[in-house]
Amino acid sequence: MKKIQNVRGTRDLLEEEFSLYQEIINNFREISSKFGFKEIETPILESSEVFRKSLGLTSDIIKKETYTFNDRSNNQITLRPEGTASIVRCFINSKLNQMLPQKLTYVGPMFRYDRPQQGRLRQFHQLGAEIIGVGDISADLELIQMSIEFLEKINLKRNDFDIQVNTLGDLESRKKYSAKLKDFFQDYKKDLTQESLDRLERNPLRILDTKNQTELKIIEKAPKLSQVLNDESLEIFGEFKNGCKKLGINITINEKLVRGLDYYNHICFEFVSKKLGSQNSILAGGRYDGLIRNLGGPHYSGCGFAAGIERIILALIFLKRKPTEKFKEKIFTVISLGKKNNIEVMKIAKKIRKDLKKTVIDIICKSNLSQGLKYANEKKATHAIIIGDDELSKKIVNLKDLNKKVQKEISISNLSKELSKI
């Protein structure tokens, strides 16, 4: 009798590899919890409309990679190919906009009809994080900070990967650039693969993702997105780069970096392993300010990232590394009074997380203290660390015990020591 094989592009996770899979997830949950994120779960099955409206009809995923079918009620259903669109659909349906920002994570299987190869499967597992309701670059920076801590926690050292960043600008800048690329590639059509010719008509930016050596040489001569960015887009990217510098995040500007999904704008980033060959991206993300409106919700800013767990496993196996163990958490909310203080507040939070390994440090920026305290109570924090202009000028914080309703001043230099006693 013929042996039944697993479906092409799927695989079983056994023994040591499954243990590694679990440890990665446990460590992700630990680190994301430290940053004040909460995990939710969305269905594997979604209405196909969710992905048509979010990913764009011209994206490679929609065109040729989704598992889409009609159920017995003749509803068109898609096995989710990625996590962000489902999270946003849930955000709208569940009216999560009643408390902002929302900091959400997810873990689970995704499905794409792709060509199976090392590090690329048809059923794969993804973990991800989303921040909805923060319009400035502090959200992008926090996601990158959290990504670094997560990868270091599972024993991928900082010199094992590069953090490549780019800006896609706003919709206006992106349209101008697409038109420029389309004009440029007209002279090289005979040298393009069929896949790139298809992309030329649908989304010329996707040609920049090519691995074909001939096309890579052509791209070297192509116009740069930076040449068409408007003033607002340049300002946002400048603020982001400056924030990275102040927070000690080493980045590499890669003007060829684009995101394959149509909902991205402004900042995008990719953590690239130095050891995995062509399938070297282990974590990637960016900003998607128009996605919520595209799915029928109100206009809110959003940004997030996703990482392929199988890719991470490959990197760990190659480097002969293992993740570390879990922890029990204490919860503090840092209330930043005013956006201009965000970077300094993030630096303070970064130091506390480093000093106190078993502590959740969740940052909220509010113009109003009562709103910040309400948020802290909703998050079940034991204490609020209040930092405004006056506090920063005096190099202190106000530490409020949310149970006893008492408050005291503590010097920033002595903050970690005082928190360790709680």
pLDDT in tens, 188-230: 888 888 888 888 887 888 788 777 888 888 888 888 888 889 9
Structural domain ending residue among the three candidates 267, 300, 319: 319
Packed helices 84-93 and 48-55: angle between N→C axes, nearest 10 degrees: 110
Give dist(CA 255, CA 258) in Å, integer.
8
For 268, which DSSP code? E
pLDDT bucket at 40, cuts 50 / 70 / 90: very high
pLDDT score recorded for residue 91: 96
pLDDT score recorded for residue 261: 60
pLDDT bucket at 303, cuts 50 / 70 / 90: very high
pLDDT bucket at 56, cuts 50 / 70 / 90: low
pLDDT tens across 100-136, in order? 999 999 999 999 998 877 778 899 999 999 999 999 9
The rounded radius of gyration (Å) of the Cα atoms in the chain is 22
pLDDT at 422 over 60: yes
Quick one: which of 91, 78, 89, 4 has its CA closest to 44? 78
Examine residue 2 and state whether it is found in any structural domain, yes or no.
no
Examine residue 403 and state whether it is found in any structural domain, yes or no.
yes
One domain for residues 148 and 235: yes
* Contact criterion met (CB below 8 Å) for 40 and 90: yes
pLDDT at 309 over 80: yes
Give dist(CA 95, CA 98) in Å, integer.
6
Range 392-407 average pLDDT: 93
**DSSP annotation string for 183-229:** HHHGGGGGGS-HHHHHHHHH-GGGGGG---HHHHHHHTTSPPGGGT-
Examine residue 8 and state whether it is found in any structural domain, yes or no.
no
- The CA-atom distances, in angstroms, between 313 and each of 24, 107, 121, 390 are 8, 15, 13, 47
One domain for residues 293 and 153: yes
CATH (domain of 382)? 3.40.50.800
pLDDT at 305 over 80: yes
One domain for residues 135 and 211: no
Examine residue 184 and state whether it is found in any structural domain, yes or no.
yes
Examine residue 114 and state whether it is found in any structural domain, yes or no.
yes
pLDDT score recorded for residue 149: 96
Structural domain ending residue among the three candidates 272, 298, 319: 319
pLDDT score recorded for residue 347: 94
Coil, strand, or helix at residue 38? strand
One domain for residues 355 and 278: no
Parallel, antiparallel or unpaired: strands 406-411 and 76-79: unpaired
Residue % of the chain over a pLDDT of 90: 54
One domain for residues 62 and 141: yes
Range 360-372 average pLDDT: 88
Question: Of 85-94, 284-293, 359-368, which range is least confident?
Answer: 359-368
- The CA-atom distances, in angstroms, between 57 and each of 70, 165, 200, 292 are 18, 26, 14, 17
pLDDT score recorded for residue 318: 84
Examine residue 5 and state whether it is found in any structural domain, yes or no.
no
What's the mean pLDDT when you consider all of the chain? 89
The boundaries of the domain holding residue 20 are: 15-170+230-319
Domains identified in the chain, total number: 3
One domain for residues 284 and 347: no
Question: What sign results for the dihedral spanned by CA atoms 381, 383, 385, 390?
Answer: positive
Give dist(CA 418, CA 187) in Å, integer.
66
One domain for residues 109 and 202: no
pLDDT score recorded for residue 262: 61
Range 7-35 average pLDDT: 90
Ordered alpha helix ranges (H), 35-123: 48-55, 60, 84-93
One domain for residues 278 and 396: no
One domain for residues 241 and 306: yes
Examine residue 113 and state whether it is found in any structural domain, yes or no.
yes
One domain for residues 198 and 240: no
The percent of the chain in helix, strand and coil, each rounded to the nearest 5, is 45, 25, 30
Examine residue 282 and state whether it is found in any structural domain, yes or no.
yes
pLDDT bucket at 174, cuts 50 / 70 / 90: confident
One domain for residues 286 and 361: no
Quick one: which of 287, 281, 279 has its CA closest to 305? 287
pLDDT score recorded for residue 65: 87
Structural domain ending residue among the three candidates 192, 208, 226: 226
pLDDT bucket at 366, cuts 50 / 70 / 90: confident
pLDDT at 62 over 70: no
One domain for residues 35 and 183: no
